[in-house]
């Protein structure tokens, strides 16, 4: 019988959630479709223009900012 080990990709995902977006290896790539979709919604709610040319890192930072502004993503 073999010992069961944790899925290493799960650990990478968890650690990426804690990394500063400026430190992401792929942060300078175009934002993902999921980021764009959510960011577009947040921009509409916050009354700001959506910029479809953001990088993954910049989109993540803007999502954080707009979540705070709109109250989305906060525990109530």
Q: Residue 47 is part of which domain span?
A: 33-70
Domain count, the chain: 1
Residues contacting residue 21 through CB under 8 Å, at least 6 positions apart: 27, 56, 57, 58, 60, 61
In a domain, 26, yes or no: no
Digit-coded pLDDT (tens) for 24-67:
888 899 999 999 999 999 999 999 999 999 999 999 999 999 99
| Beta bridge partner(s), residue 30 | 55
Q: Is the pLDDT confidence value at 10 over 60?
A: no
Cβ(29)–Cβ(55) below 8 Å: yes
Q: Which two structure tokens, joined as six digits, stand for 46? A: 């916050």
pTM of the model: 0.70
In a domain, 47, yes or no: yes
Per-residue pLDDT, averaged over 12-32, amounts to 77
In a domain, 8, yes or no: no
């Amino acid at each position: 019988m073999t010992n069961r080990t944790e899925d290493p990709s799960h650990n990478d995902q968890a650690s990426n959630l804690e990394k500063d977006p400026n430190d992401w290896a792929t942060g300078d790539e175009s934002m993902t479709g999921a980021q764009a979709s959510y960011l577009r919604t947040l921009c509409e709610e916050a009354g700001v223009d959506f910029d479809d040319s953001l990088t993954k890192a910049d989109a993540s930072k803007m999502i954080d900012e707009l979540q705070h502004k709109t109250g989305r993503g906060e525990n109530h």
